[in-house]
Structure 1
Amino acid sequence: MEDLEFGDLEFDTMQEALSNFSNLTSDLNASINKTCSLNKSFQFYYLPIMYIIVFVTGFIGNSVALWMFIFYMRPWSSITVYMFNLVLADLFYVFSLPVLIFYYFNKTDWIFGEVMCKLQRFIFHVNLYGSILFLTCISVHRYMGVVHPIKSLGRLKKKSSTIVCVCVWVIVMAGIAPILYFSRTGLRKNKTMTCYDTTSKDLLKTYFIYSMLTTFFGFCVPFATILVCYGFIVKALICNDMRTPLRGKSVRLVIIVLAVFAVAYLPFHVMKNLNLQSRLYYQGAETCDWNRRVYATYQVTRGLASLNSCVDPILYFLAGDTFRRRFTTAATRIMSRRGESNLQFRSEDSPLQAVSNISQNGDTSL
């Protein structure tokens, strides 16, 4: 009997020890999860401010560019066709920004439904990869004109550019279509709805593979093509010692496009995939600081990636065929008309004002 009671006591002690160990493990996991939580508050201020800047400057710049292409750039050259499509891609994205601005000012509480979430992410990626491919087309076009001017005479036609642009839109739409599946909304702990900028946790592995494919075909291949084209352009300009207007436009094109890739596209793709990798494979307490830095840097590059929509108008002005000259002509005409209108308005003063003006000038002939 005593042995039985002793055994029961030993069993109870062991059970209590296991229970305490389980509670300790739970507390430790909770502590780790709390310690590893990401600081997302800064994006409530950084991203909407960036999007406001992009919306205002992008809307003004691309609207002016669209107005120029429609009314003052006729007849279009082949490179103008590429630039016009680049304007359309930028404007589509700019018009979608007010929703994102409200979303981040609202502490990432998404109130617009899942369809709007999918459409928002789809538009961003269409603009991103559409802009990259149209910049690639512009670069290849300039390469043909500088390095192979004789061969390109019969090839760089407006009809060919139109066909290429249609193909670009089709390729981009088809390649970005999976975003409509991956993008979705989800509930957070405080019961608010969020619109994932990538995808939900259960689809993360598949999305990471898709992200690597789009990075390779949508960014790496075009970027390598641009670098090769610009290498031959610079070589031709130096070796042939060109002193034509094409030299200046080509140099400006090289500088602007490389700056856009260095600031907007390259950091975004690197940090996006690095952030996905961290979410998949680095979840331990020892990598918390690394995860935080990666996430914060990724959010910064998201804002930088949107800057291409307000930088592209600078490209049209500095590197576009006849764009700057025709813009100056159009602005001069508008100012001239406004000046003539003001002069006509002043000349149609009332008789009382006319008498007053005459008396002030000392003329009493009336």
Structure 2
Amino acid sequence: MQRSCWLQVSNCSDVIPSLWKYYLSPVYAVEFAIGITGNLVVVLGYLFCLPSWKSTNVYLFNLAVSDLVFLCTLPHLSYTYAHGQQQYVAALCVANRYILHVNLYSSILFMVWVSVDRLLVLRHPQRDRFLLTCRGSLCVSLLTWIWVNIEVMPLIIFVLEDLKRNGWSKCNDFASLSEVNRTLIYSLVLTVTGYILPLLGLFLSSFKMVSLLTVQEQVFGTSFQKPLKILRATAIMFLVLYTPIHVMRNVRIASQLSEMSSPCSRNYIEAVYIVTRPLAFAHSVINPVFYFLMTDRFKELIQDKLRQLARTVMSRT
């Protein structure tokens, strides 16, 4: 009986390394390959193809830069998980955790500002409000980056403390840090301030926009189904992608406090948490679709630029 129990613990302990190697590593590699192309096209398109910037462009450009920087960390993550490594250079560990979570919480905020911006444009088509100017959107973007850094700063402190306890070599993820009590409190606060409140803001602004567009559709007889679908898709995307990781992160941390949970149950909880991580960061792959759908003539501008480059290459050959 004792031998059977030992074998069970041994087998369930193999779940985590297997997920690292056969799930996290290939999924992160695929997300990098797809996401880097779309976000690079968007960033270059904004820099070289956009003749004039509007407030929406400022928010989407910040979002694309955030996604692009995050995606550049995935090849190293994919490599280390493929080789089952937890040994990191301390500075690289801190930088990775910082970029990862700044991207996670800045993305939803910038999408909230895009939704609010579209709502304000509907109410004030002449753009006679400060928030609808490029200067206003730059101020909001700067405040967003400051706020997200304030949110993530406690995590960086916890990561540094955890690295110190492990001899500055073992890089644990958010839900596996040593200081469980403080980490759980912080995780719950971050879930509310960084995810739930912005998500409510996104749904509220989207609902207001849907109401306004529905009224305009009835008055002018023009179909607004496309923007309505885009708004719904944006809110649903964050709900579907972000909810599992926030739920499982808190459950994973809480499971380490419970004396009733067995080593196997903790491993299985951690395994589910691992599954949710690439799902959350899939937004970096999906976001470029919204850039083409939300901004005026952006798709046409990119296509015109590509045709121009093709004609230039053909003329030189």
Instruction: Give the TM bin, normalised by the shorter chain.
Output: 0.7 to 0.9
Q: How does 1:251-270 map to 2 (within 5 A)?
A: 251-270=228-247
Once residues 306 and 195 of structure 1 are traced to their aligned partners in structure 2, the CA distance between those partners, rounded to angstroms, is 19
CA contact (8 A) 2:255 2:261 kept: no
| Mean Cα deviation higher: 124-133 or 29-38 | 29-38
Q: 1:171 and 2:147 equivalent?
A: yes
Q: How does 1:343-358 map to 2 (within 5 A)?
A: 345=317
Of 29, 37, 50, which residue of structure 1 is paired with 2:27?
50
CA contact (8 A) 1:249 1:320 kept: no
Shift of residue 194, structure 1, vs aligned partner = 3.5
CA contact (8 A) 2:158 2:177 kept: no
Of 224, 228, 244, which residue of structure 1 is paired with 2:200?
224
Aligned to 2:39: 62
| Identity score, percent | 27
Shift of residue 283, structure 1, vs aligned partner = 4.1
Cα 1:259–1:38, aligned 2, differ >3 Å: closer, same or farther? farther
Once residues 124 and 111 of structure 2 are traced to their aligned partners in structure 1, the CA distance between those partners, rounded to angstroms, is 20
Shift of residue 79, structure 1, vs aligned partner = 0.5
Q: Aligned AA for 2:227?
A: S
Q: Aligned AA for 1:132?
A: I
Shift of residue 336, structure 1, vs aligned partner = 2.5
Q: 1:233 and 2:209 equivalent?
A: yes
Q: How does 1:152-231 map to 2 (within 5 A)?
A: 153-155=128-130, 156-183=132-159, 184-185=162-163, 194-198=170-174, 202-231=178-207
Once residues 57 and 124 of structure 2 are traced to their aligned partners in structure 1, the CA distance between those partners, rounded to angstroms, is 18
Q: 1:331 and 2:306 equivalent?
A: yes
Shift of residue 328, structure 1, vs aligned partner = 1.8
3-state SS of paired residue (1:108)? coil
Once residues 97 and 244 of structure 1 are traced to their aligned partners in structure 2, the CA distance between those partners, rounded to angstroms, is 47
Residues 155-181 of structure 1, C-alpha deviations (whole Å, 9 max, x = no match): 311100000000001111121112222
CA contact (8 A) 1:81 1:162 kept: yes
Cα 1:150–1:329, aligned 2, differ >3 Å: closer, same or farther? closer
Structure 2 residue runs of 5 or longer lacking an equivalent are none
Shift of residue 127, structure 1, vs aligned partner = 0.5
CA contact (8 A) 1:89 1:131 kept: yes
Q: Aligned AA for 1:91?
A: L
Once residues 248 and 149 of structure 1 are traced to their aligned partners in structure 2, the CA distance between those partners, rounded to angstroms, is 21
Instruction: Decide which structure has the larger Cα Rg and report it.
Output: 1
Shift of residue 324, structure 1, vs aligned partner = 1.3
3-state SS of paired residue (1:284)? coil
Of 275, 295, 301, which residue of structure 2 is paired with 1:320?
295
Cα 1:89–1:186, aligned 2, differ >3 Å: closer, same or farther? same
Q: 1:278 and 2:259 equivalent?
A: no
Aligned residues: 312
Give the TM-score of the pair, scaled to structure 1.
0.76
Root mean square deviation, CA, Å: 3.1
Once residues 39 and 13 of structure 2 are traced to their aligned partners in structure 1, the CA distance between those partners, rounded to angstroms, is 40
Q: 1:73 and 2:31 equivalent?
A: no
Once residues 60 and 244 of structure 1 are traced to their aligned partners in structure 2, the CA distance between those partners, rounded to angstroms, is 39
Q: 1:340 and 2:290 equivalent?
A: no
Once residues 252 and 104 of structure 1 are traced to their aligned partners in structure 2, the CA distance between those partners, rounded to angstroms, is 37
Shift of residue 266, structure 1, vs aligned partner = 1.7
Residues 230-274 of structure 1, C-alpha deviations (whole Å, 9 max, x = no match): 111112222221779993663243144124213321221111112
Give the TM-score of the pair, scaled to structure 2.
0.87
Residues 286-342 of structure 1, C-alpha deviations (whole Å, 9 max, x = no match): x945x444322211110111211111111111122221121121122222223333x
CA contact (8 A) 1:122 1:176 kept: yes
Q: Aligned AA for 2:69?
A: F
3-state SS of paired residue (1:73)? coil
Cα 1:244–1:211, aligned 2, differ >3 Å: closer, same or farther? farther
Q: Aligned AA for 2:235?
A: L
Q: 1:149 and 2:111 equivalent?
A: no
Q: How does 1:83-162 map to 2 (within 5 A)?
A: 83-110=60-87, 112-146=88-122, 148-149=123-124, 153-155=128-130, 156-162=132-138
Once residues 102 and 195 of structure 1 are traced to their aligned partners in structure 2, the CA distance between those partners, rounded to angstroms, is 14
3-state SS of paired residue (2:129)? coil
Once residues 316 and 57 of structure 1 are traced to their aligned partners in structure 2, the CA distance between those partners, rounded to angstroms, is 15
CA contact (8 A) 1:82 1:137 kept: yes
CA contact (8 A) 2:24 2:81 kept: yes
CA contact (8 A) 2:39 2:288 kept: yes
